[in-house]
Chain A
């Protein structure tokens, strides 16, 4: 670990004055209003759930924003901080530490700073909370910390209540693919909130990956996969409804694909020797409800989604032909020709398409960023098919369909292996 370059003198002196801690919550602040409300929520969580534990909040902030006065009050009793709850008296000192970085902190820089602080303070349980949004529920913080501190888990992924039409990339790609290939069914591999143990923090901190673009943008999935691949104990904790705060990138599909699918493919690339040996997936213990779906009405333009799929596949034909297996490509071209009412993206074609993309990413048949972007029209096709197929489905039916998709990913794993190991043919 390189604290000498990673942690500034100011931060080091703040951390040394804190000493060892039991719990650490990290966040990177984006604006002052959110920072204050988040800090209050975290401290409330500490007061309610961890009265006897030594705790610290590490806030990674931009040096230019001047948030020191808001966040870093320095060591002080909760009562002095003026957020004392009726009937609850903290027996420990709550510390707030601010790590100032030049420019807006990227998720990778923020996480690395938090991990370094956790390692230095020998924190037993840590959590990262979302910097965006206006409200953070104190129970969410406790739900992320508790499995690590009390149940000795090493990684805690969040679970949310969702609208059944939201989170389709996670449902149809990230979750089933990572479950099939990494053997651990974490539903929310990409989230702004998660928990982890001190030993996982130390393991991740010592990896030489922090300069990678995938880690800078979305380090949480890599952390989860590192935990799985090192046989650390993983679990999921229900946090309630996924608020607007944690939705992050919105519907900019290309950017979401770059950050999530790009990172997943990168993780496949770096963990390949381990992945080839892994068998079937292990069940992940879950605290709280396993998965909740709501059916609130949504205003989705299915026709536009289908048209973008159709035009995208047509216009990108030369690029797709260099990525996809000829058989897969011809099947996609045949379903593109179908009328909108008859179109369905069958799960076997979808899985083979994704495995073709993963293998082509491995062989770098074209620029990797371009490759991930070329997936956007196909994802739209799958989204359209999903919206049509599940317009009247109950949550149980959707869950059953999700399980079938997961099985399809496992079933076709040999196809990926075959393409992965195949000598790449240079195509135009």
Chain B
């Protein structure tokens, strides 16, 4: 009886030593991978920051209105955001690779799924960024054109364009991430269709005078309008 207990304890001890002997090198490898990852992430961060500084991305981002969106969300400027993102993505990638070295049951499958999902997250962020840039540019173009043409409600026109592009960008982002795909498409169709129908009805019925004026302005005789302002040159 006593010998059996001692043998069992020796066996458990042996297994433990064997496990530790197997685990420790892997753990050390993991730590090394994480440390290398940290170094690589820092290097990449500084390289990207320098490159983006050369391309004056912050100015482009500001011009496109993306900086304002970032400030509203209490996020850093575009260059800093992208450099920090590359740092964290790189380091997290190395951490996950390091964790996979431990060969913990079930963890490897989750890690590989996470890696598969990363490109979609990047594409989604890119879609949102481009959406913000395009929405800001086009809404400002519309605002300037409407103001300079003497349109009675330039801000409404400008905000409508911004709203439609944001809705489109958000829908595309959610679809890219695979979040309630059917619901998103249906919701977008309903919101977009309803907005357009509402605007058409509002313009045609509620704003008959405005509609008439607009049509007269664009289709009518422009001679009268030209005589009202002095020749600039």
Contact = CB atoms under 8 A, between A and B. Distances in A.
Interface of A: 165-170, 190-191, 247-251, 253-254, 256-257, 260, 298-301, 304-305, 308, 311-312, 315-316, 319, 364-367, 370, 373-374, 376-377, 379-380, 383, 387, 424, 426-428
A401 to B, nearest CB: 16
Interface stretch (B116-124, B148-156, B205-213): B148-156
B220 to A, nearest CB: 16
B46 to A, nearest CB: 21
A298 B143 contact: no
A253 B148 contact: yes
A306 to B, nearest CB: 12
Interface string B202-233: 00000000000000000000000111111111
Contact of B62 (A253, A365, A383): A365
Nearest to B62: A426
B11 to A, nearest CB: 68
Interface residues of B, number: 29
Interface in B54-84: 58-59, 62-63, 65, 67-68, 71, 77
Given A299-B227, A301-B228, A365-B62, A170 B144 contact: no
Nearest to A299: B227
Nearest to A312: B147
Candidate in B137, B232, B233 with the most chain A CB atoms within 10 angstroms: B232
A300 B65 CA distance: 38
Contacts of B141: 370
B213 to A, nearest CB: 14
A379 B71 CA distance: 33
Contacts of A169: 232-233
Which 9 A-B pairs give the minimum distances between C-beta atoms? A169-B232, A428-B68, A301-B228, A166-B231, A373-B144, A251-B229, A426-B62, A376-B148, A256-B232
B147 A311 contact: yes
A393 to B, nearest CB: 15
A167 B148 contact: no
Contact of A170 (B62, B71, B154, B233): B233
A250 B226 contact: yes
A426 B233 contact: no
B144 A316 contact: yes
Contacts of B137: 367
A98 to B, nearest CB: 29
Contact of A426 (B67, B143, B227, B232): B67
Contact of A300 (B59, B77, B229): B229
Given A248-B233, A260-B233, A316-B144, A300 B228 contact: yes
Contacts of B68: 428
B45 interface: no
Contacts of A170: 232-233
B186 to A, nearest CB: 35
A312 B230 contact: no
Contacts of B63: 364-367
18 contacts: A165-B230, A167-B230, A167-B232, A190-B233, A191-B233, A253-B232, A256-B232, A260-B232, A300-B228, A304-B229, A308-B150, A312-B148, A316-B144, A319-B143, A370-B140, A370-B141, A426-B62, A428-B68
Interface centre among A166, A298, A300, A315 (most CB of B within 10 A): A315
B62 A254 contact: no
Contacts of B231: 166-168, 247, 250-251
B228 A304 contact: yes
A41 B233 CA distance: 24
A355 B71 CA distance: 29
Contacts of A254: 145, 148
Contacts of A248: 233
Interface in B180-214: none
A166 B228 CA distance: 12
A426 to B, nearest CB: 5
Given A315-B154, A319-B143, A428 B71 contact: yes
Contacts of A167: 230-233
B59 A315 contact: no
Contacts of B140: 319, 366-367, 370
Contacts of B59: 364, 424, 426
Given A167-B232, A251-B230, A383-B230, 16 more contacts: A169-B232, A170-B233, A190-B233, A251-B228, A253-B229, A304-B229, A312-B147, A316-B147, A319-B144, A366-B140, A367-B63, A426-B77, A427-B62, A428-B65, A428-B67, A428-B68
